[in-house]
């Protein structure tokens, strides 16, 4: 994978470099990271950094980006994710479940992918964990119905201490 551009509408290049250099989960990045205007250079590889809130305004074609991974969690419908195509991207992979984009899970239904699909979803992390195992069991024994439990670590939108939540009262409780 050749990363040629990144768009993050919420942070500037210097902060992105800092976040990459000092990752709380993976530790300190041992390579070299530099910022030059709107470019990040990682181990000598220049990556164009955009800060556009509207994906239609990102000039993906200027960098040669063919595939765009839409991972903001904001543009998860086909219509919204298609905005990336206006900037020159050829394919958009949504990294979350989508209400209307076709979803593919490797080892489960990836053979049904057609090359003319411009926007697709890689489903959810839970689906990518459960579906391959469920497929093996179903193919061998036939699952009529099932129940599963998923346990996640904190996400960026969950509170680590109790506080108010505009969404719902339970959302204000510690995850």
Tell me the pLDDT tens digit for each residue of 90-121.
999 999 999 999 999 999 999 999 999 999 99
Residue 23 predicted with pLDDT over 90: yes
Looking at residue 91, what is its pLDDT? 98
Q: Which residue has the higher pLDDT, 117 or 155?
A: 117
Looking at residue 128, what is its pLDDT? 95
What integer is the mean pLDDT of 64-93?
97
Q: Is residue 20 domain-resident?
A: no
Q: What is the pTM of this model?
A: 0.85
Q: Is residue 16 domain-resident?
A: no
Q: Is residue 41 domain-resident?
A: no
For residue 129, indicate whether it is catalytic.
no
- Strand ranges inside the chain, DSSP E: 5-7, 22-23, 27-28, 33-36, 39-42, 45-50, 67-70, 91-94, 119-121
Looking at residue 170, what is its pLDDT? 80
CATH no. for residue 145? Answer: 3.40.50.720
Separation between Cα atoms, residue 153 and residue 119, nearest integer Å: 29
Q: Is residue 45 domain-resident?
A: no
Residue 163: pLDDT band with limits 50, 70, 90: confident
Looking at residue 157, what is its pLDDT? 75
| Residue 52: HSE in the Cβ half-sphere, 13 Å Cα cutoff | 18
Averaged confidence pLDDT in the chain: 94
Separation between Cα atoms, residue 57 and residue 38, nearest integer Å: 15
Q: Is residue 62 domain-resident?
A: yes
Question: Exposed, middle or buried by CB within 10 Å (0-12, 13-18, 19+), for 24?
Answer: exposed
Q: Is residue 69 domain-resident?
A: yes
Q: Is residue 93 domain-resident?
A: yes
Residue 151 predicted with pLDDT over 90: no
Looking at residue 130, what is its pLDDT? 96
The domain of 71 spans 52-172
The active-site residue out of 125, 129, 133, 175 is 125
Phi, psi (degrees; rounded to nearest 5) at 121: -115, 145
Provide the number of structural domains found in the chain. 1
The DSSP secondary structure of 152-173, one letter per residue, reads: ----TTS-SS----SS-SGGGS
């Amino acid at each position: 994978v050749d990363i040629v551009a990144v768009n993050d509408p919420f942070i500037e290049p210097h902060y992105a470099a800092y976040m990459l250099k000092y990752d709380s989960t993976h530790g300190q990045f041992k390579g070299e990271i530099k910022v030059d205007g709107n470019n990040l250079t990682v181990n000598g590889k220049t990556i164009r950094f955009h800060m556009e809130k509207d994906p239609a305004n990102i000039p993906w074609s200027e960098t040669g980006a063919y595939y765009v991974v839409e991972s903001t969690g904001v543009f998860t419908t086909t219509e919204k994710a298609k905005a990336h195509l206006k900037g020159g991207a050829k394919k958009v992979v949504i990294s979350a479940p989508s209400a209307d984009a076709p979803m593919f899970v490797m080892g489960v239904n990836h053979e049904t992918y057609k090359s003319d699909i411009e926007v697709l979803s890689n489903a959810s992390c839970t689906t990518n964990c459960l579906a391959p195992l469920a497929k093996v069991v179903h193919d061998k024994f036939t699952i009529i119905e099932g129940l599963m439990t998923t346990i996640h670590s904190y996400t960026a939108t969950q509170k680590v201490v109790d506080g108010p939540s505009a969404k719902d009262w339970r959302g204000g409780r510690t995850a």
